[in-house]
A and B are shown apart, each in its own frame.
Chain A
Amino acid sequence: MEKLVSLTASACPLNVANLNTDQLLPARFLKWPRSAGIGKVLLHDLRFDAEQRERPDFPLNRPAWRDAKIVVGGRNFGCGSSREAAVYALYDYGVRCVIAPSFGDIFSGNAIQNGLLTAIVSDDDAAALMAALEAKPDQPVTVDLEQQIILCGNTTYPFTVDPVRRMRLLNGWDDIDITDSYRDRIAAFKADDRTRRPWATPRATS
């Protein structure tokens, strides 16, 4: 996983509550392997109309925000389906950080596995950030993971992130590497559990 310490980039406001993973990546693209270029179809049905033409009003299609690496979203961003490909789509499009008042639980878990920061800000700060970006679309935004602050213009906004996820992102750690160091304890748990909960093993069927 690629580490993330600090990021300064164009930031796109997506002022929609409950922007679910079905919007981030419509289900018909789920059979694509990641190598097929999933970033191209990020937010497909919001970015494009039925004739595959770009919707000019959609924020990510506006010139200032086409190359956004930061997205500012509404509450419950990424709710719904557990599809990790929704995170692949954001990441492969170029997004490295989503700022929102709250996130779908599974989405934020998937994000960290892929080096995408989910930064939680207050409702008021999310609204203020979006307003600032609407007023001056091409101003860059800085997200500093070490300091846990967002800088937009002359204003600083604090954000929260799970401390474990912060450490993993700062260092670019994959959790499988960490888990492997627990191998002995896993084996001991398993042996003990077989006697503690014998019913937990599926009955052999013929």
Chain B
Amino acid sequence: MIAPQTLFDKLWASHEIARREDGEALLWVDRHYVHEGSFHAFSQVKARGRPVAEPGLTFGVADHYVPTRGSRRAIANPEIARMVRQVEENTAANHVTLFGLDDPRQGIVHVVGPEQGLTLPGLLIGCGDSHTSTHGALGAYAFGIGASEVAHVLMTQTIWQRKPTRMRVTVDGKVAPGITAKDIVLAIIAQIGADGATGCAIEFAGAAIRGLSMEGRLTLCNMSIEAGARCGMVAPDATTFAYLRGRPYAPAGADFDRAVKQWSALVTDGGAAFDREVTLDAAAIAPIVTWGTSPEDALPIDASVPDPAREPDEARADYLRGALAYMGIAPGQKLTDVAVDRVFIGSCTNSRIEDLRAAAAVLAGRVSKVPGLVSAGSSLVKRQAEEEGLDHIFRNAGLEWGESGCSMCVGINGDLVAPGERCASTTNRNFRGRQGPGARTHLMSPAMVAAAAVTGHLADVRVLMAGRKI
């Protein structure tokens, strides 16, 4: 009899080409996504004079450096223009499909992969971007890799890995109205810490996770890396299969039905053991915002920021002083008293159609007190949002409706938060200087960003949604 296996055990076993005595295994890579930042890796491949082993399993996007404002082709900064050109040249020279600037399917790699049906249950997916964990939402083993590993995958379609330990995060019960996947994942990170899952493969389970849409699951798995995890995943189910049916690169017709049969076995067997279990009560989760410079610095919106003077641990008190000074927040200040200068809705974390709808539901008929940018996760999401009239809601609220890309999450395309400015943001990292040198970032859900926009300060979206349909 085969011992009960976790979902992750099954994914791992089905990709193992060889295992060495030292414990490292050589794994087959089913999908490899590359972007502008992969230029170091393409240089390494070229230096070795090797071809790309599996161009048909490799897909490129232009996302990190693309402009979101004005003409997409007229990039003023020559260095940024070169980055976009390089990914075009590197993919073309190696016969790799590119969703480039002029392609209607262009978008953020972690939005495009699932949207195109390239990301499927049961796959192993690598990409030179830490938020590759996103794709685990469909029941895939997906993780971020560095440039040397990208080069290795390009040359061999394989990767060496040591098997991560297995962690299950169970969120039982039902979330209250207005609580989203972003609130759930920030609550998890606040509980276990920014390194709470280092070396782990997380499986998210429980009724509250099952109840999430595909978009919500993508947000959840996206942020796994912010807890230090190698990857995060949700077992595929009817929600997953309904999402995938009819997507361009997914199997079609009878092939799809046969695939669903195999995918349905990708669940954790009863009695399978995890190395670590974490449990949260969904009903206890309130809308959450971050106050500091690590995603673990997250609190419910009705809380006050910590006071270093009340912190007995000296090292922790030091950290609190540094974080509060950088963020320009007084010790013990109420979060709802923190005024914001700007808002951003976008990024691989929260830029899918459901995210835009949630923000628009708060903004409809209201005006933002601060400037802001909305950047859809893909050009297809942008088009759909326009078909639904969401762009009018954002524009009427005074926000800018931009093109798709990584944009103000990382700022390398020039979309920056000014030094000292405070931004309510749907992104994934509130690190010092992440959105620009000296920028102050507060992470939260799209609806909470919309609430901050219309009030001009961090605010509880539940108050603003009273009497409105969530």
Contacts and interface: CB of A to CB of B under 8 A. Distances in A.
Interface of A: 17-18, 20, 22-23, 26-28, 30-31, 33-34, 45, 50, 75-76, 79-85, 87, 102-106, 109-110, 113-114, 162-164, 167, 175-176, 178-180, 182, 185-186, 189-190, 193, 196-203, 205
Interface in B399-414: 410-412
Given A80-B130, A164-B23, A202-B56, A179 B152 contact: yes
A190 to B, nearest CB: 7
8 interchain residue pairs of minimum CB distance? A110-B146, A113-B148, A199-B259, A84-B146, A76-B195, A84-B147, A82-B144, A82-B130
B329 interface: no
B125 to A, nearest CB: 11
A31 B65 contact: yes
Given A164-B22, A164-B162, A202-B57, A82 B17 contact: no
Contacts of A197: 14, 122, 262
Interface size bracket, B side: 35 or more
A174 to B, nearest CB: 8
B228 A76 contact: yes
B251 A199 contact: yes
Nearest to A107: B146
Contacts of B22: 163-164, 167
30 contacts: A20-B431, A22-B434, A27-B410, A45-B432, A50-B438, A76-B194, A76-B195, A81-B130, A82-B130, A84-B147, A84-B148, A104-B195, A109-B149, A114-B148, A163-B23, A164-B22, A164-B162, A175-B152, A175-B160, A176-B151, A176-B152, A176-B156, A185-B17, A185-B18, A186-B28, A193-B28, A199-B258, A199-B259, A200-B123, A202-B249
B224 to A, nearest CB: 11
A85 B256 CA distance: 41
A31 B80 CA distance: 8
Given A28-B412, A30-B412, A200 B30 contact: yes
Nearest to B431: A22
- For B23, B132, B158, B195, the residue with the greatest tally of chain A CB atoms inside 10 Å of its CB is B195
A26 B146 contact: no
Contact of A110 (B147, B411, B419): B147
Nearest to A206: B248
Contacts of B156: 176, 179-180, 186
Given A28-B411, A186-B158, A199 B431 contact: no
Nearest to A34: B40
Given A22-B432, A76-B228, A84-B40, A199 B262 contact: yes
Nearest to A123: B315
Given A23-B432, A76-B198, A105-B199, A83 B37 contact: yes
B34 interface: no
A83 B130 CA distance: 8
Contacts of A80: 130, 429, 431
B147 to A, nearest CB: 4
B465 interface: no
Interface of B: 14, 17-18, 20, 22-24, 26, 28, 30-31, 37, 40, 43, 48, 56-57, 65, 79-80, 82-83, 117-118, 120, 122-123, 128-130, 132, 143-149, 151-152, 155-158, 160, 162, 194-195, 198-199, 228-230, 248-252, 255-256, 258-259, 262, 293-294, 296, 319, 410-412, 419, 429, 431-434, 437-438
B255 A199 contact: yes
A82 B146 contact: yes
A105 B198 contact: yes
Contact of A189 (B17, B145, B433): B17
A34 B28 CA distance: 29
Contact of A109 (B145, B155, B250): B145
A110 B148 contact: yes
A126 to B, nearest CB: 11
Given A30-B37, A106-B130, A197-B122, 14 more contacts: A22-B431, A23-B432, A23-B433, A27-B434, A33-B43, A106-B143, A109-B146, A110-B149, A114-B148, A179-B160, A186-B26, A196-B14, A198-B258, A202-B249
B158 A113 contact: no
B370 to A, nearest CB: 23
Contacts of B155: 176
A34 B37 CA distance: 13
A109 B149 CA distance: 9
Contact of B251 (A23, A75, A83, A203): A203
A176 B50 CA distance: 12
Given A79-B194, A82-B129, A113-B148, A27 B18 contact: no
Contact of A79 (B23, B195, B437): B195
A18 B30 CA distance: 32
Given A106-B130, A189-B28, A22 B429 contact: yes
A45 to B, nearest CB: 5
B407 to A, nearest CB: 12
Given A164-B22, A202-B249, A27 B412 contact: yes
Nearest to A112: B148
A9 B120 CA distance: 49
A87 B147 CA distance: 10
Contacts of B429: 20, 22, 80-81
Contacts of B129: 81-82
B228 A104 contact: yes
A63 B57 CA distance: 51
A82 B158 contact: no
A30 B36 CA distance: 10
